[in-house]
Structure 1
């Protein structure tokens, strides 16, 4: 490939495809190429999540997460309706099971009001009437939460992107990057052959490999991607109607993850999870996973030790419950006692690509890095799938700004 593209995007997840699709819509005359190292799209985080279209309950008002989530919910549902992709608006219940959680629930209610989210407080009796199989002393009903298959959303975006003249190169692993005044060159490995692809501008949406792509260009950052495994179980088919909504616990604000929940999937099944356990391999989806390279790189990063020390107690508890299924079950039984140990059937795990700073801070919002001819999505936390369309638009805006695009069309796009 000796051709110099106008834009090259590294990563074929939902954020990368959304960005490519929107760039091609904005600049139909420009050449746009997506490089994806796997044989298919949505192989990693996009294809290993619970399929929830989030409403934005937990996110700080004014944050990119809050803004992207609200816009993303509307854009995703509109896109699915346009393309006949199945969406179910099942709603979500956040269930308080003790007085401490009830107090935290009130704080979440206030946050919902600040973020403009349609929510209703339920009493213990109203909860019982709404969800007969769920126990609690109160709950929040979030009306606007829905479920979808994000793989199908990504595939449809990719289909539209290629119909506009965009290109996708599968099984193409980027092994090195270099930049000069005119272009960024990616050294690629595909089908056993090494070759180079050049771009006037490079965008990386590489998820679990986000820190490695910035290092390839020598961009100084103070973060590293730390993988956390989210392990799920599927309930037997007889429990497909066990709940009418998604059921979430009230999260502990001192902990970085939401806790184990019951999720109705778009295929009709119900899953339990995820937990959050330390991963020792960035793309380790099986039960037994270890990568010497990934582990050594992680252990040499000071931020790993600091964040592990800060959350040591909860981390050990999550690890224990990962290996001792009754402990995992207990987290579910506090709000759904009907589920038994034998009901927890195997289901694929997911990996959360969590950016951690050198001081041990977990990056909760979106994080970007750049060079004169590149822009890198360094942290795209949940709800990245929900927010993929506004994230893609935001990236397009940033690229326009860096390139000094001032056409009337570009200005109109940025202002929408």
Structure 2
């Protein structure tokens, strides 16, 4: 085994949260050395490179929650970063549409939450909705003008570039196999090398709980994968959606529902659904990892969740297997849309942390002590909030290094 040179900090995970954390460490400790380890041959190959590319405003989140606070601050930081670095982004706005009178109380609750979170938003009647999105159908809507779109993979690659330019190491194509810590250092072993450092931060996304377990910690939740599939409007039909069109979400389920998103390149994506994946990186029904599937099915927290939401789960499976069912869900927002106007495109997998009681962990979660911090849950809006999340992780690192935590 080759023993690599010592680094002051080791970061595991080449997605946007890991990269943002390494970048913030570089800013806080300009004389320190940083090694970032990523198991894939390229950065941002999973959640960070397969999300809907939205800069979230923070309208949905409980006031005072970590999501609400970090989303607003992180959005401003992300916009500033993109301006400084010449990365494509746009503040295009979105509408959240109530398609029936039954949805109005939930829409009004979201509007009230937006005001509490100091989000710029206004209620629209059907005529005002038509002026913004002529093809959308609804009885009322919320317009959130500051919601934006951005090229997150470009952000990730630029962060990696800045780290390399500053002399830090990005180690690609190496999967972490073991983690050990002592009072003086941490050790991270991959298949071919041993990395030693003064402090470890893991941002492992779909394998975040596994990394925490490797270090001897037992995180309070387990990751269960949910696949989100997308369709894309053919170029001749992109006029059906001007910007972003969202449904009123179900408060009992953490997914926002299928929606329409104009991307920075001009294409319009429709989705995602949220179907249980048969592997942690299960991007299609053909991707099955039997050990991971058995682990998910054997977890009591997942079984409790499935019993609670089995009907909704079957609906998601139906929409995954039937294009007609998927299109039917889209037609609630844009009635004129037809299956012939859509083609299947990419899929992503969401790392959903589920507690033993079957509840979905809906806020950011990190655990650790001593010389380690593990990010165990980074749900949406983690990409929007990533630079602020990185800042807060570095705050915790600094506190632990000073002996104030753990």
Fold in common (TM above 0.5): yes
What displacement does 1:175 show?
0.7
Aligned-pair CA distance for 1:287: 4.0
Is the contact made by 1:90 and 1:244 (CA closer than 8 Å) also made in structure 2? no
**Residues 286 and 348, structure 1, Cα contact 8 Å, conserved in 2:** no
**Separation in 2 of the partners of 1:164 and 1:26?**
13
Please report how far the alpha carbon of residue 172 of structure 1 lies from its aligned counterpart in structure 2 after TM superposition. 1.1
Match in the other structure for 1:331: 329
The answer to whether structure 1 residue 160 and structure 2 residue 162 are counterparts is yes
Q: How many residues align?
A: 402
Q: CA RMSD in A?
A: 1.2
Distance across 2 between alignment mates of 1:124 and 1:29: 57
How far is 1:380 from its partner? 0.2
| Residues 280-310 of structure 1: CA deviation (Å, up to 9, x unaligned) | 1001113422111111111221101011111
Could you tell me how far apart the structure 2 residues matched to 1:313 and 1:119 are? 33
Q: Which residue of 2 aligns with 1:251?
A: 249
**Structure 1 residue 371 displacement after superposition:** 3.0
Matched, 1:399 2:391: no
Aligned equivalents of 1:344 and 1:363: distance in 2?
Answer: 33
Checking the alignment, whether the CA contact within 8 Å between 2:93 and 2:143 is kept in structure 1 is yes
The match for 1:218 among 216, 219, 226 is: 216
Q: Identify which of 292, 295, 298 aligns with 2:293.
A: 295
1:374 aligns with 2:372: yes
Give me the whole-angstrom Cα distance separating, in 2, the residues matched to 1:171 and 1:321: 35
Counterparts of 1:14-413 in structure 2, within 5 Å, are 14-189=16-191, 194-404=192-402
Taking structure 2 as the reference length, what is the TM-score of the superposition? 0.97
Question: Secondary structure of the equivalent of 2:250?
Answer: coil
Q: Is the 8 A contact 1:25 1:164 kept in 2?
A: no
- Structure 1 residue ranges, 4+ long, deviating more than 6 angstroms after superposition: none
Once the two structures are overlaid, the 10-residue window that deviates more, 9-18 or 337-346, is: 337-346
Residue of structure 2 in register with 1:410 after alignment: none
**What is the CA-CA distance between 1:129 and the residue it aligns to?**
2.0
Deviation at 1:49, TM superposition (A): 0.4
1:244 Cα deviation (Å)?
Answer: 1.9
Which secondary structure does the structure 2 equivalent of 1:78 belong to? helix
Structure 1: unaligned runs, 5 residues or longer: 407-416
* 1:59 CA drift (Å): 0.5
Instruction: Structure 2 unaligned segments of length 5 or more: list them.
Output: none
CA–CA separation in structure 2 for the residues paired with 1:12 and 1:153: 12
Measure the CA separation in 2 of the matches of 1:2 and 1:74.
Answer: 38
Provide the C-alpha distance between the structure 1 equivalents of 2:202 and 2:397, rounded to a whole number of angstroms.
12
Q: Secondary structure at the match of 2:89?
A: coil
> Do the aligned residues in 2 keep the contact of 1:365 with 1:379 (CA within 8 Å)?
yes
TM-score normalised to structure 1 length = 0.95
SS in structure 1 of the partner of residue 384 of structure 2 = coil
More deviation, 126-135/114-123: 126-135
Contact 1:28–1:164 under 8 Å retained in 2: no
